[in-house]
Amino acid sequence: MIDTHCHLLLEEYSTEERLNEVILNMKNNIMITSSTNIKNMVETLNIVQRYSQVYGVIGIHPEDVDDGTEKNLKILESHLHDPKIVGVGEIGLDYHYTKENRVKQIKLFKKQLQLAKKYHLPCVIHSRDALEDTYNILKEEADGSFPIILHCYGYSLDMAKKFMELDVYFGIGGVVTFKNGKKLVSVVKEIPLNHLLLETDSPYLSPEPYRGQKNEPCNVIKIAEKIAEIKEIDVETVLKTTTETAIRQFDLNIEF
């Protein structure tokens, strides 16, 4: 199984020992850790070197939009050639706390999408309270030359169907196990299994029954079990299909 989206960062897990333990708890399973700014991009580059089962995506999150200088984007671009870096992310739009920097966010989002396009790398997108802009930009940019993954998908089923027309893939995480996760359950039920990816977004969004605790990648099995339950199929099928999809979309150099 593959946790396609987590944040394996020291600031999240407090100590080197704990972070090491969290990674080893996944045994031989793959994790794709995501940066959110320039500082933790360096940490991400470091950790993917140290652990064979950890791959990385690098990008600047909308909440860190001020990191998106030309100079920083050049640095980011230079690291996209690293063999363990498999995508651009997480990037996107977030109007939850403020919409004041909307134009700035859009500019940075588009610039990073261009990088994904230039190198045919998947982009991992964070979109919160920004449905219309996200959809319009992706509709403009999607040309089939780079995979598009909406991480922690939180919009409606109707919109998911519209995103499907753009060949988008959906990262499904802990929210699907929550009591108030009904909207996401309907998405999982209707969207074909081969367009779903498993993710934990560790250390955030722990699935039930661990809600409220610090999340870690090995909890990704709980997401797989929930998808199996919703789709009324066995968990092995969920693990096999989502793993194949992740290997293909992130072009991972592993045997399966």
Q: Which stretch binds Ni ion (CB under 5 A): 37-45, 50-58, 200-208, 220-228?
A: 200-208
Give the nearest residue (CB) to Ni ion: 201
Instruction: Name the burial class of residue 179, with classes exposed (0-12), middle (13-18) and buried (19+) by CB atoms within 10 angstroms of its CB.
Output: exposed
In whole angstroms, what is the distance from residue 145 CA to residue 150 CA? 16
Confirm or reject binding of residue 94 to Ni ion (CB under 5 A): no
The type of residue at 219 is N
In whole angstroms, what is the distance from residue 187 CA to residue 178 CA? 14
Confirm or reject binding of residue 201 to Ni ion (CB under 5 A): yes
**Nearer to Ni ion among residue 131 and residue 228 (C-beta):** 131
**Nearer to Ni ion among residue 94 and residue 201 (C-beta):** 201
Residue 24 Cβ vs Ni ion, minimum distance, rounded to whole Å: 21
Q: Where are the alpha helices (DSSP H) in 124-219?
A: 131-141, 157-165, 182-190
Handedness of CA 249, 141, 92, 40 (dihedral sign): positive
Q: Which stretch binds Ni ion (CB under 5 A): 62-70, 79-87, 180-188, 199-207?
A: 199-207
Residue 92 Cβ vs Ni ion, minimum distance, rounded to whole Å: 10
Residue 67 Cβ vs Ni ion, minimum distance, rounded to whole Å: 16
**Nearer to Ni ion among residue 141 and residue 201 (C-beta):** 201
Residue 144 Cβ vs Ni ion, minimum distance, rounded to whole Å: 25
**Nearer to Ni ion among residue 97 and residue 256 (C-beta):** 97
**Nearer to Ni ion among residue 3 and residue 201 (C-beta):** 201
Structure tokens at 209: 């029954």
Terminal CA-CA length for the chain: 10
In whole angstroms, what is the distance from residue 44 CA to residue 253 CA? 18
Which residues contribute to the site for Ni ion (CB under 5 A)?
Answer: 201
